Chains A and B, each alone.
Chain A
Amino acid sequence: MKISNAFNKRNRVLLRELVVTDFKLRYQGSVLGYTWSLLKPLFLFAIMYVVFGQLIKLGSVEHYAVYLLFGIVLWTFFSEATGMGLSSIVGRGDLLRKISFPKYIIVLSTTISALINLALNLIIVVVLMIFNGVHLHASALLVPVYIAEIYVFALGIAFFLSAVNVKYRDTSHIWEIIMQAAFYATPIIYPLSIVIAKSRIAAKILLLNPVAQAIQGARYSLITKQTITIQTLYHHGWLIIVPIIIVIVVFIGGALYFRKNSKYFAELI
């Protein structure tokens, strides 16, 4: 995999075919088809709204339901991109054994599918923002940057895990457990203020996680300025770049590990 031809025409065509096929097949055979892409986040929102907006009030953040949904949508994206990416190489084993093409395209195509899902989910987030009377600020322009951060982080993890999964199929189970723990270790369904009330240090540590930092940043930019971000906690100290460093290290490490091992995928699967 030379960098120069990593994005040549052939690979772009293949990437597009794989993404399009994946999208076509997603709701194959269902009556409502693509509508499900919009209905699913809508129902998720309805549930969130009833459970956390009306029954259990975990915080006093304004527009809490939208705040919650946005966080969940971003987490779902991270979880899908890593989870689907992890099993992508093994899942396409039949192809790898019979045809030669750059393996990273498989991982890339599944993470792009997750990105498409995210885009559809975001449509619902925007619609609900309008209904909830959320004011849009110029800072909303930063949201794509945070999404890019999560994406690069997820891609790095997907590269690493998909390569490990070829050797050890235990990987998917281990990752599932890690993700469950990480879900609760990330301030998604609870506001960070609850953690701060108990321990400020714990909250600071939680925000070093790139996903938590990006979700909080995106919420701050799009939903409410009441969101506690890494800047709020660290007051512009040098530690705020730690999540970015983690993302870069994970991405480069994951990509290198993947490149080193991808030669032997065909015979190991």
Chain B
Amino acid sequence: MNKDLIPVVTVKNIVKSFKIPLEGSSGLKQKLINQLRGRKGYRIFTPLNDISFTVNKGDFFGIVGKNGSGKSTILKTLAGIYFPQEGSVEVIGSLVPFIELGVGFNPELTGRENVYLNGALLGFSRKEIELMYNDIVSFAELSDFMDERLKNYSSGMQVRLAFSIAIKAQGDILLLDEVLAVGDAAFQQKCYDYFEDLKRKRKTVILVTHDMAAVKRFCNRAILIEEGKIKLAGSPEEVADAYIIDNFDGNTVEEPEDEDEEEESGEVTESKLISGLHLKMANDKTVIPGEPLKLELNYVIKKPIDIEVRIAILKDGVSFTHVNTGGRLLPSKEGKYILNVELDTTNYLEGRHDVFWGVYNKDTGKQLAFFNRAATFFIKRHDPTVYGWMYTKAQWSEPKIDKKV
């Protein structure tokens, strides 16, 4: 397989930066004012900083990264919409870009007219579109509606039509951006089937997505983009895992689009008896199964009380194991305490884990203080043979023929 690698897309050290106008300076007046004051009126934003990669013929190439990491800029540069300041992009063969579905769709035109217009925009001749037309219509399941105006289509129908054009369009290289997230479940299944088909036919596809399942399923190579640089290039599994881990570091990296999701983390509730809840995790964010999870719990007892400390671990948002100090008698005098605990992670499975912990009244079980999502870690484990909540070691024998039958 390595023998006949034919590069079809070669990206060499591209740098792309934009001037972002600071305050609506698209007017002549603002320009003059800025000039007079000696201000630039813009800041430089560099979404691509020295990116290089090669896509070979037949690759299903995944590009993943957070919002704002620069992956869409890469796609637009490949599509020839943006021109890089430095570096070069070389494409061999025809490249059909789908930065967005239904580009140029006009609600006043009929479905048929829109197919031809969209096709022309994508660079196909009338004849080529005529050849694809029936395929497009039947894939979209819209044969009865093609002579109706697009404005009378439901939004689902519009998406279906646009997507059908996208995937039936016969180019040498397909460029797809986030298009997996459209349509109802049945249509999505159809699209996945089509991707399988593309993959089987060894069609060259470049896919930009947030859907790591799709990356693992379809891609044979992938890159992870972070802050305009390639953070990782390799197998789709490695890249998808790295992406998931990165996204769990949500506390350190700001992700503007997911602000509301951040709110619930790190919430502490305290009472008159217990305060000063704090947790330190000695491990990295990524934990290898078997590595002990070292936690340091801090709390302050304000008034003497018998307490019990409980820890809950949530995997992928679901509570799956609890530990507590149980019958152990903990000091009940006032003061600041440090409590260390090591948790065995041997049986943990791959995924995101959150640590919640609290201090409870030993006698009544009443919650005195609680720390919501005090820490987050990610278990890295590659074993496609085990699923669920815990790791089970399995010893399979060699099947033997049952002679009794």
Cβ of B76 within 8 Å of any chain A Cβ, yes or no, is yes
Decide: B79 and A99 in contact? CB cutoff 8 A: yes
Of B104, B106, B113, B125, which one neighbours A13 at CB under 8 angstroms? Answer: B125
Given A10-B125, A168-B26, A170-B28: A99 in contact with B103 (beta carbons within 8 A): yes
B112-125 near A? 1/0 per residue, CB < 8 Å: 01001100111111
Q: Which residues of A contact B334 (CB under 8 A)?
A: none
Decide: B81 and A266 in contact? CB cutoff 8 A: yes
Q: How far is the CA of A266 from the CA of B72 in the complex (A)?
A: 13
Given A168-B27, A170-B28: A24 in contact with B109 (beta carbons within 8 A): yes
Q: How far is the CA of A92 from the CA of B117 in the complex (A)?
A: 14
Decide: B125 and A95 in contact? CB cutoff 8 A: no
Q: Which residues of A contact B117 (CB under 8 A)?
A: 17, 21
A contacts with B: majority SS: helix
Q: How far is the CA of A36 from the CA of B227 in the complex (A)?
A: 55
Q: Which residues of B contact A266 (CB under 8 A)?
A: 76, 81-82
Q: Which residues of B contact A16 (CB under 8 A)?
A: 120
Q: Which B-chain residue is minimally distant from A14 (CB atoms)?
A: B120
Q: Which residues of B contact A14 (CB under 8 A)?
A: 120-121, 123
Cβ of A167 within 8 Å of any chain B Cβ, yes or no, is yes
Q: Which residues of A contact B124 (CB under 8 A)?
A: 10, 13
A80-97 residues at the B interface, CB under 8 angstroms = 94-97
Query: Shortest beta-carbon distance, A139 to chain B, in Å?
Result: 40
Cβ of A137 within 8 Å of any chain B Cβ, yes or no, is no
Cβ of A132 within 8 Å of any chain B Cβ, yes or no, is no
Number of A residues with CB within 8 Å of any CB on chain B: 28
A10-49 residues at the B interface, CB under 8 angstroms = 10, 13-14, 16-18, 21, 24-25, 28-29
Decide: A101 and B109 in contact? CB cutoff 8 A: no
Cβ of B97 within 8 Å of any chain A Cβ, yes or no, is yes
Decide: B106 and A101 in contact? CB cutoff 8 A: no
The 10 A-B pairs at the shortest CB distance, nearest first, are namely: A100-B80, A17-B120, A98-B99, A170-B28, A168-B28, A98-B103, A266-B81, A14-B120, A263-B83, A28-B108
Chain B interface bracket (under 10, 10 to 19, 20 to 34, 35 or more): 20 to 34
Cβ of A264 within 8 Å of any chain B Cβ, yes or no, is yes
B73-108 residues at the A interface, CB under 8 angstroms = 76, 79-83, 97, 99-100, 103-104, 106, 108
Decide: B116 and A17 in contact? CB cutoff 8 A: yes
Cβ of B200 within 8 Å of any chain A Cβ, yes or no, is no
Q: Which residues of B contact A167 (CB under 8 A)?
A: 26
Query: Shortest beta-carbon distance, A162 to chain B, in Å?
Result: 15
Decide: B27 and A170 in contact? CB cutoff 8 A: yes
Q: Which residues of B contact A263 (CB under 8 A)?
A: 83
Query: Shortest beta-carbon distance, A8 to chain B, in Å?
Result: 10
Query: Shortest beta-carbon distance, B243 to chain A, in Å?
Result: 25
Decide: B99 and A13 in contact? CB cutoff 8 A: no
Q: How far is the CA of A28 from the CA of B117 in the complex (A)?
A: 17
Q: How far is the CA of A251 from the CA of B165 in the complex (A)?
A: 38
Q: How far is the CA of A95 from the CA of B113 in the complex (A)?
A: 17
Query: Shortest beta-carbon distance, B247 to chain A, in Å?
Result: 27
Q: Which residues of B contact A96 (CB under 8 A)?
A: 81
Of B28, B83, B103, B108, which one neighbours A95 at CB under 8 angstroms? Answer: B103
Q: How far is the CA of A17 from the CA of B106 in the complex (A)?
A: 12
Given A263-B83, A266-B81: A101 in contact with B123 (beta carbons within 8 A): yes
Q: Which A-chain residue is minimally distant from B73 (CB atoms)?
A: A267
Decide: A10 and B123 in contact? CB cutoff 8 A: yes
Of A29, A97, A99, A169, which one neighbours B121 at CB under 8 angstroms? Answer: A99
Contacts A29-B108, A168-B27 aside, 6 further interface pairs with beta carbons under 8 A come to A9-B125, A14-B121, A95-B121, A98-B99, A99-B79, A168-B26
Decide: B18 and A267 in contact? CB cutoff 8 A: yes
Query: Shortest beta-carbon distance, B93 to chain A, in Å?
Result: 14
Q: How far is the CA of A165 from the CA of B76 in the complex (A)?
A: 23
Cβ of B203 within 8 Å of any chain A Cβ, yes or no, is no
